[in-house]
Structure 1
Amino acid sequence: MKMYSEKIDELQKYFKTHNKSKEYLGHSAKVHSVGWSCDGKRLASGSFDKCISIYTLDRDRLNKEITFKGHTGSVDQICWHQTHPNLLITASGDKSVRKWDTRVQKCVATVSTKGENINIAWSPNGNAIAVGNKEDLVTFIDARTHKIEAEEQFHFEVNEISWNNTSDLFFLTNGQGCIHILSYPELKKQHIIKAHPGTCICIEFDPTGKYFATGSADALVSLWDVNELACKRVFTRMDWPVRTLSFSYDGKLLASASEDLLIDIGLVETGDKIANISVEAATFTVAFHPSQYLLAYACDDKDTYDRKKDAGSLKVWGFSSD
């Protein structure tokens, strides 16, 4: 444990001087989803106001670049291509998936789907897009032709969906606390892991390919070995259902958030607390930068002057406090 105690001290010390949050107002309603492009140069946010805002990161500040409009319903989740820094996809309640390109600054493809979409994932190899709707139907789309390749109707509550890092297994979390693992593209059932006593809400793979983490309604985050499918440890510092997770670029840190008024940042290898971020409202989305210890997040904040209105803001934490 000695090697870890030095690492813990070093990281805790770093965040004592890098704990500044900056707030950006980009939307007229609640922000549902934030995410960084793979090169870390851009941050995107999707909102209940039907828009997607794109910011560019300039050393220690974000600048608003463009607002993408076109969806006629809430933008519930955004997802960038894992190797192409200009492409992102969005899932909306308007029964469509859209692909956007920041080079031409517009929507380059629209795919109509059967229901109100809430979750979206892009396979790490870039070939496929999966989108889940409120009726627990998951639609698989060819990312190049934008044709629907398959539809899979599940008879349980499907929450978050994700591929593994090699894109040959498809994972989904469900309302019975299970993780279902299917082969891809065959979509044959490989394993069902009973992960939590409560609803399994979110799932996230670490960049090194060693672990994945799940967050649950039981307020726990569990860390799993990808190859053994064994639970390695449980993070227990939350009191409310864990809604969102993100690993740091090096796989060393795991951020988790809920309705607790703090975002927890723990050391993956031991579970120790490294830092936390105080927030004023429930947090629904967090995303670590792909090459720096910066965390983007969005809360259910209200407008300072009108408490009935959503603030529509997002924040980035981890800037130097000097």
Structure 2
Amino acid sequence: MAPPRRNLLAKERFSFAFGSLRTQSYHDPAAKGPGTHTIRSIAWNPTGQLIATGSQDRTLRIWNPERSQARYSTELRGHNAGIEKVLFNPARDSELASCSGDGTVRIWDVRSKTCVSRLDVGPDAFTLSWSADGKVLVAGRKDDTLIPISVESPSSPTITGTINPPKPAIYKTLDPHPQSIQTNATTFSNHIPSADDPNPTRHLFATTGEGTVKIISYPSFETLYTLHAHTSACLSIALAPTGRYLAIGGSDALISLWDTTDWICRRTVSSSNGGAVRGVSFSFDGRFIVGACDEQGCGGNGIEIFHAETGESVHTVATGGSSNTGISAVAWHPSRYWLAYAITADYSTPGGLRIVGAAGGGGL
């Protein structure tokens, strides 16, 4: 049963309530010492009952957030190079996608612990985006090429009143789309088919090395609009669950917040730690935002949380990190005020996954 959604926290009460939560550490047995097990990506499944971590040492692990011991986790094996991105299907809570420098995207069924599809997308795949309805997956390579992947779910016919077991989905790579400029992180809009709009226009947002964000129409890959967001490279991106704001993290240490109704930048926020923002995440209600910086020193003074509507800094999570540690990834729980983050290790601070709020199954 998924953890229930709690009451919304007012900005004025956030620090008091969130600051009272305990932080749980998760030790991966693959971590042999500093620098050997840097987590590059973390992702919650849609119900928030599982969290996945992908590491540069090829370790892909599924954790139960309420049981920190490794024996309650599952390691999925198959990639033969570092894992750059993990992402659960928004429409299927047991389906996980991962991409790696080995040139493959793999789809996993975390219930059966098996790889159900292996897709060759070319060398140095490093980013993934899944459409809100789970029917499209887009992989990005370091040569600035986007590769769409279609997801087809065959129907299960009814025979003599009995419904056959569902057939596995079919994954197929489509024609690649080379980009003319450096292309970094991507994310889809929240559009989901409905009875009134069975074929909604999907928008893909892509950050670039020129400080812009391209709003791309899918499946045509036509650039509809370009946001001139930062004075240097845009590295990370996240759409609020409410759809109200698009957050863009840049190498200039800023997170800019764009109103999706008129594409005006309403405000920018910046952590006192500085450093390039390589990850960004909204809380389930879209009201709080946090960024990740994996540079040395970014993790030592904690993780700063901002109120999206005002840009105010409302709380700093104490990580216990030293002056040499960084935060390589952050991800809010999909329905609770639980914050997962990955800290890089040095000789005085153990790295790995940590979750604020999950200790003891309590939290907000």
Give the TM-score normalised by structure 2.
0.81
Q: Is the contact between residue 23 and residue 355 of structure 2 (CA under 8 Å) also seen in structure 1?
A: yes
From 348, 352, 357, give the equivalent of 1:313: 352
Aligned CA RMSD, in angstroms, stands at: 2.0
Partner Cα separation in structure 2 for residue 142 and residue 80 of structure 1:
15
1:108 counterpart = 2:116: yes
From 187, 211, 227, give the equivalent of 2:245: 211
From 251, 261, 264, give the equivalent of 1:230: 264
1:252 counterpart = 2:252: no
Partner Cα separation in structure 2 for residue 115 and residue 320 of structure 1:
39
Q: Is the contact between residue 51 and residue 70 of structure 1 (CA under 8 Å) also seen in structure 2?
A: no
1:25-67 deviations in Å (ceiling 9; x for gaps): 1233111111110000001100112121111133x85763210
TM-superposed CA distance for 1:171, in Å, is 0.8
Q: Which runs of 4+ in 1 moved over 6 A?
A: none
TM-superposed CA distance for 1:290, in Å, is 0.7
Alignment of 1:56-71 (within 5 A): 56-58=64-66, 64-71=72-79
1:141 aligns to what?
A: 149
SS at match of 2:180: coil
From 314, 326, 331, give the equivalent of 1:274: 314
SS at match of 2:340: strand
Partner Cα separation in structure 1 for residue 246 and residue 353 of structure 2:
26
TM-superposed CA distance for 1:105, in Å, is 1.1
Q: Is the contact between residue 23 and residue 359 of structure 2 (CA under 8 Å) also seen in structure 1?
A: no
Name the stretch that deviates more: 39-48 or 141-150.
Answer: 141-150
Q: Which has the higher strand share?
A: 1
Partner Cα separation in structure 2 for residue 101 and residue 319 of structure 1:
24
1:189-245 deviations in Å (ceiling 9; x for gaps): 100111000110000011111111000011110011112111111102342111111
1:12 counterpart = 2:56: no
2:181 aligns to what?
A: 156
From 283, 291, 315, give the equivalent of 2:327: 283
1:242 aligns to what?
A: 277
Partner Cα separation in structure 2 for residue 189 and residue 147 of structure 1:
24
Partner Cα separation in structure 1 for residue 75 and residue 358 of structure 2:
25
TM-superposed CA distance for 1:103, in Å, is 1.5
TM-superposed CA distance for 1:7, in Å, is 2.5
Name the stretch that deviates more: 268-277 or 38-47.
Answer: 268-277
Question: Which consecutive residues of structure 2, in runs of 5 or more, have no partner in the other structure?
Answer: 1-8, 32-36, 153-169, 193-201
From 118, 130, 135, give the equivalent of 1:122: 130
SS at match of 2:65: strand
From 289, 292, 295, give the equivalent of 2:336: 292
Q: Is the contact between residue 257 and residue 264 of structure 1 (CA under 8 Å) also seen in structure 2?
A: no
From 207, 211, 214, give the equivalent of 1:177: 211
2:40 aligns to what?
A: 32
Q: Is the contact between residue 25 and residue 68 of structure 2 (CA under 8 Å) also seen in structure 1?
A: no
Give the TM-score normalised by structure 1.
0.91
Partner Cα separation in structure 2 for residue 171 and residue 134 of structure 1:
17
Question: Which consecutive residues of structure 1, in runs of 5 or more, have no partner in the other structure?
Answer: 1-5
Partner Cα separation in structure 2 for residue 212 and residue 225 of structure 1:
7
Name the stretch that deviates more: 144-153 or 288-297.
Answer: 144-153
1:220 counterpart = 2:259: no
Partner Cα separation in structure 1 for residue 116 and residue 19 of structure 2:
43
From 52, 56, 69, give the equivalent of 1:48: 56
Partner Cα separation in structure 1 for residue 104 and residue 86 of structure 2:
13
Q: Which amino acid aligns with 2:286?
A: G
Partner Cα separation in structure 2 for residue 192 and residue 150 of structure 1:
23
